[in-house]
Structure 1
Amino acid sequence: MSLEEVALFSIVQAAGWPIWPLIFCSVIALALVLERLVSLRRARIAPTGLVTEVIGVCRAGIPGPEVIDKLAANSLLGKVLAAGLRQATRTNDPELLRRAFETAGRSAAHQLERYLNALATIATAAPLLGLLGTVIGMIEIFGAQAPGSNGTNPAQLAHGISVALYNTAFGLMVAIPSLMAHRYFRSRVSGLLHDMEQAADQLLHRLVHPQLAPSQPNR
């Protein structure tokens, strides 16, 4: 082990058991951040030009079930557009079409926001866990002082307090990146949802337009 690894292990040992929940939170937060980075890629959620391609296909009529199923498997935006196309094969009522898009959009929003609440909870709870660990450490330090003793060693007391503060520092080290990641992902989700809503509106407009009224599915 390197000197840095030994020093880090010594700090963890000195901080006591309250630091272990923080270590667990840091591992969970890192896993959530990596998962969201992979899952919220634009190519996986709302590929550029997909709605234009779908509208172009719809000029010849509503595509068949095989094409719609392929569209749904393309991306999350594809699922939303496919839901509207499936409804269009049954009716061209604008209200029913809008409801189909909105229902699929709510499902997509739920999927995009998955794990963000957990990340926000870690960002909120980590400083409190660190403060709890510091308080416990301070209680142990002052409780260990022998009653009736003539005095205490100031250097030893200062060292004990600094060790107790490790928990607070580590809690902030977990909370700050988690909060920044949560804000970033929240902003990214909002942008993706806006793009998906715009795409759904474009396809809805084409489906209810008199010159582009949906026909029977191709067979």
Structure 2
Amino acid sequence: MEPSGLIEQGGPLVWVLLGLGFIGSVCIVERLFFFHRARINVGDLLVGLSHHVRRRAFAEALHEAARAPGPVARVAHASLLRYYLNRAELREVAREAGQLEVPRIEKNIRAILGAALLAPLVGMLGTLLGMVEIFQRVSEHGGVTGPAELSSGAFTALITSVVGLATAIPLYLFYLYFLGRATRLVHRLERTGIEMVNMIADAREEEEFHPFQGEVSSGKKSKAKPTPVP
């Protein structure tokens, strides 16, 4: 049977199912583009930033983080903007930057889940309404009806369930796929925040430690070779 015939026999609830399928499809396409743009090698990004941070070249590090795409790079960029803070304050900055990215990562994923859950329910509702209509026809004819009429009515009633399941199954599979990718991306955000905090704080502590060592060594030299008094 052609799709137009299914829509005509299924009734108005088929249009509701098609609307849910359209909404879910739009959300799926948007999420595919988002996760494609967010693809980045976190290890390579952190290695490149660490080279700049060790040299105290924060301008170059900020430029590299701003040029990289995705929420991971934005968390690194937010941490580098506050490189002068202490370790505890840097950790709070990285945590807040990661929390701001979570809603962007989870955007439209719940909409896909909602469409996947509603579609079979709407299909079941259409089937039950169709069965009620069949029994009403049977009662109107005094309980006497032909098998052809019954089979035609049952077929019409089951169309909405078929369309509902056909809509819900791929939507739910895409929901599971995007949920896994979102979870992995959130873990990468947490890793990036921890690595950036340790990287910046360690570089600053190392810079503060070396001048102190130089003063100690120069003090030892002066004691070893005192300046003669004229």
* TM-score category of the 2 structures, normalised to the smaller one: 0.7 to 0.9
Matched ranges for 1:68-147 at <5 A: 68=62, 71-72=65-66, 74-75=68-69, 76-89=71-84, 91=85, 93-145=86-138, 147=140
Over alpha carbons, which structure has the higher Rg? 2
Structure 1 partner of 2:155: 162
Checking the alignment, whether the CA contact within 8 Å between 1:62 and 1:85 is kept in structure 2 is: no
Alignment length, in residue pairs? 204
Does the alignment pair 1:205 with 2:198? Answer: yes
Cα offset, 1:62, TM superposition: 5.1
Which amino acid letter does the alignment assign opposite residue 37 of structure 1? L
Cα offset, 1:189, TM superposition: 1.0
The 1:150–1:119 alpha-carbon spacing in structure 2 relative to 1, beyond 3 Å, is: closer
The runs of 5 or more residues in structure 2 that have no matched partner are: 209-230
For 1:123-172, what per-residue CA distance to the aligned partner results, in whole angstroms no more than 9, with x for missing partners? Answer: 11111010111112122222234535361112211111111101011111
Which amino acid letter does the alignment assign opposite residue 14 of structure 1? Q
Does the alignment pair 1:44 with 2:38? Answer: yes
Mapped partners of 1:60, 1:212: distance in 2: 10
Mapped partners of 1:35, 1:163: distance in 2: 34
The 1:149–1:110 alpha-carbon spacing in structure 2 relative to 1, beyond 3 Å, is: same
Checking the alignment, whether the CA contact within 8 Å between 2:116 and 2:169 is kept in structure 1 is: yes
Structure 2 partner of 1:191: 184
Structure 1 partner of 2:26: 31
The 1:105–1:46 alpha-carbon spacing in structure 2 relative to 1, beyond 3 Å, is: farther
Cα offset, 1:68, TM superposition: 2.6
For 1:61-99, what per-residue CA distance to the aligned partner results, in whole angstroms no more than 9, with x for missing partners? Answer: 1523x863662353221110111111213x2x1111011
Checking the alignment, whether the CA contact within 8 Å between 2:27 and 2:108 is kept in structure 1 is: yes
Structure 1 partner of 2:4: 9
Identity over aligned pairs, percent: 25
Checking the alignment, whether the CA contact within 8 Å between 1:88 and 1:207 is kept in structure 2 is: yes
Structure 1 partner of 2:16: 21
Checking the alignment, whether the CA contact within 8 Å between 1:62 and 1:88 is kept in structure 2 is: no
Mapped partners of 1:8, 1:139: distance in 2: 24
For 1:180-201, what per-residue CA distance to the aligned partner results, in whole angstroms no more than 9, with x for missing partners? Answer: 1111111111112212222222
Checking the alignment, whether the CA contact within 8 Å between 2:138 and 2:144 is kept in structure 1 is: no
The two structures have a TM-score, normalised by structure 1, of 0.85
